[in-house]
Amino acid sequence: MLDSIIKLLIGDMEDKRAYKQMMKRVDALPKDYRFAFRKIQHYMFSVGPLGGGDMTIFTDLTMFKDLVDLFEVSAAEGRQVLDVIGSDVGKFCDEFMRASVTNTETVREKLNKEIMEKFNKEEQ
């Protein structure tokens, strides 16, 4: 019960650690990538997922980690940030969120299928 109260008051410490680790990776990016990441992150938090729905911290972290991965690889390849995100950054963000939501739905569908197969087999 105490754990539940602590999580309610201060949040999940593991999520906070993961977020801080991710932001350390962001801080290690080149200046232009850091700037773009922070602006994109603000946009995504402000707009939320396309088509509504809840944007949980897990989804946020997964989506933002994917963005950091993309930026790290692109920076290592010597690409300019605008070559990666294009001139319509809002469109890039919307498509990136849409892809993340689609990936989440695919994982959700796989989970449901596996559970249903497991319990349908046991009932027979």
pLDDT, tens only, 7-47: 666 666 787 888 899 999 999 999 999 999 999 999 988 88
Pick the CATH number of 2-123 from 1.10.1900.10, 3.40.50.2300, 3.40.50.300, 2.40.10.170: 1.10.1900.10
Model pLDDT for residues 43-102, shown as the tens digit of each residue: 988 887 654 544 444 456 888 999 999 999 999 999 999 999 999 999 999 988 888 766
**Domain locations along the chain:** 2-123
pLDDT at 9: 60
Under 8 Å between Cβ of 40 and 93: yes
pTM over 0.75? The answer is no
Name residue 60's amino acid.
Answer: D
77 closest CA partner among 69, 86, 66: 69
